[in-house]
Amino acid sequence: MTDRFRITLAQMNPTVGDLAGNAALARQAWKQGCAVGADLVALPEMFITGYNTQDLVTKPSFHQAAIAEVTQLAADCADGPALAIGAPWVEGEKLYNAYLILKDGKIASRVLKHHLPNETVFDEVRIFDSGPLGGPYVVNDTRIGSPICEDGWHEDVAETLEETGAEFLLIPNGSPYYRNKIEVRFNHMVARTVETGLPVIYLNMVGGQDDQMFDGGSFVLNPGGALALQMPVFDTAITHMDLERTPDGWRAVDGEKAHLPDEWEQDYRVMVESLRDYMRKTGFSKVLLGLSGGVDSAIVAAIAVDALGAENVRCVMLPSEFTSKESLDDAEAVAKALAVHYDYVPIAEGRSAIANTLAPLFAGYGEGLAEENIQSRLRGLLLMAMSNKFGEMLLTTGNKSEVAVGYATIYGDMAGGYNPIKDLYKTRVFETCRWRNANHRPWMKGPSGEVIRPNVIDKPPSAELRDDQKDSDSLPDYPELDAILDILVDRDGSIADCVDAGFDRDVAKRVEHLLYISEYKRFQSAPGVRLTPRAFWLDRRYPIANQWRDPS
């Protein structure tokens, strides 16, 4: 009986729908496992298809092609270690989220996911069938239990595997990021090892997929919860780890323990990596954005440069007669600090032409919001024209506070293909700018040092669509607004909860009203990466036509 079992953990970045490309990544990991004499090479949940596939995986021709790709992978990897890979699986009329064990040229074993998550970004109950509670599979005379992702968060699957002879747990995951989730995962896995007395290997994928960022951070625990191995967050990594047989059972040999950054660095890297992956996976290489001199466009410009490099970022200032010299100077300073291409496109002439065109229709009506929004929509039109002409994806720059209460112009500054700060409240935008000025990391393609000058961060925010306009003319000050939104959105609280927290009821009701009437704007907004468990889109799905208001 062997006294050592070697596993190659492949924390890798699949692309949804790229079956051949994902299989090639699996072969790459398998070859590295071969080179070090691994017994098993392990890949994350649903790796062959990429994850989260949503309804794509229910398309028969797609899941049949995925299973065929895995079958070919088994044949290609016949001579060497076993290969464990997440994939769809069909039995009869049922479609499963499965973990397939490839050995000796065939699919030797399969595990079917039992607990199907049906909250936040996941709809697995409507996509997959639930598999039965099962026992371990065998690789080289060693019995391994593999709860699939959500199954690892429930004690029944792990306990069943322990009771039926599993000697350690290898848990493949497609677990997307939200702030401080690493601690949540760690606590669940400690519970599994305490309950079963078995080592736990937690393997997570990396990479961006639409609004989700899979952050890796794979780790290994010995019984009792002692950390034996910590892989890095966000980085693709292939790590070889050993288990040794002891009188008390298998124990993981201590390995490297990567540093885990704080939440500010994690959030910033999520925004950078998600944009980088979104571009790569949708076929774009360059972006452009309107640079207003304000804090939101400044941080989006910094994110874009850190993700793609300055040579792939175009910033455009589109001033009107309401644009202050301060904003012009600030925008130019940010562009120079980031070393991006910078265009200056005044909109006064176009705005005048539109005003003249509409003058007969608008005669007798005073100027107001319609005229203000013409400026924003004209900017959107010009930016989209440049996007079409130059083949550059337009980035939108609305923060979560603005997205929540609709303080943005639909078909104007909301126009674009991706929004890196969609789930970042305005108060966190300010602090993120300060963090980026003070920190630089090897994964950033932009320059070190101060890239957003302090005046951009410290001046009162303004849309500059009329004389002397301030955001505070239309909204509560951002610290108050964000605190109320945290209660109503992130904590799903009530008006009474806002009052109990010390906020004026009328102010809270006004914020609630703006939140509900802006649903139609969010429905048409660009995707943006998820930083919290209550991001707008899949985490929070509300009707557009909605007359209910909290009576408390």
Beta bridge partners of 240: 8
For tokens 């309950």, what's the residue? 195
Q: Answer whether 335's CB lies under 8 Å from 443's CB.
A: no
Query: Residue 221: enclosing H or E segment and its boundaries?
Result: strand 219-222
Cα atoms in the Cβ-side hemisphere of radius 13 Å centred on 101: 19
Report the number of secondary-structure helices (H) and strands (E) in the chain: 17, 19
d(CA 99, CA 110): 6
For the chain, the residue count is 552
Q: Is 422 a catalytic residue?
A: no
Contacts of 116 (CB under 8 A, 6+ apart): 97, 122, 124, 125, 127, 128, 130, 150
d(CA 197, CA 161): 12
d(CA 392, CA 273): 18
Q: Answer whether 138's CB lies under 8 Å from 177's CB.
A: no
d(CA 264, CA 266): 5
Q: Is 113 a catalytic residue?
A: yes
d(CA 427, CA 482): 7
Beta bridge partners of 316: 290, 343
Catalytic residue among 69, 103, 124, 149: 149
For tokens 């760690």, what's the residue? 186
Beta bridge partners of 233: 216
Q: Are strands 341-344 and 313-317 parallel, antiparallel or unpaired?
A: parallel
Contacts of 238 (CB under 8 A, 6+ apart): 8, 9, 10, 11, 12, 29, 32
d(CA 421, CA 403): 10
Q: Is 45 a catalytic residue?
A: yes
Neighbours of 339 (CB within 10 A): 15
Q: What is the DSSP-derived secondary structure letter of residue 176? A: B
Neighbours of 464 (CB within 10 A): 22
Q: Is the peptide bond before 373 cis (omega within 30 degrees of 0)?
A: no
Based on the number of CB atoms within 10 Å of its own CB, is 453 exposed (0-12), middle (13-18) or buried (19 or more)?
Answer: middle
Q: What is the DSSP-derived secondary structure letter of residue 42? A: E
Contacts of 59 (CB under 8 A, 6+ apart): none
d(CA 425, CA 480): 12
Catalytic residue among 69, 77, 103, 113: 113
Neighbours of 439 (CB within 10 A): 13
- Strand, coil or helix: what is 108? strand
Active-site residues, by number, are 45, 113, 149
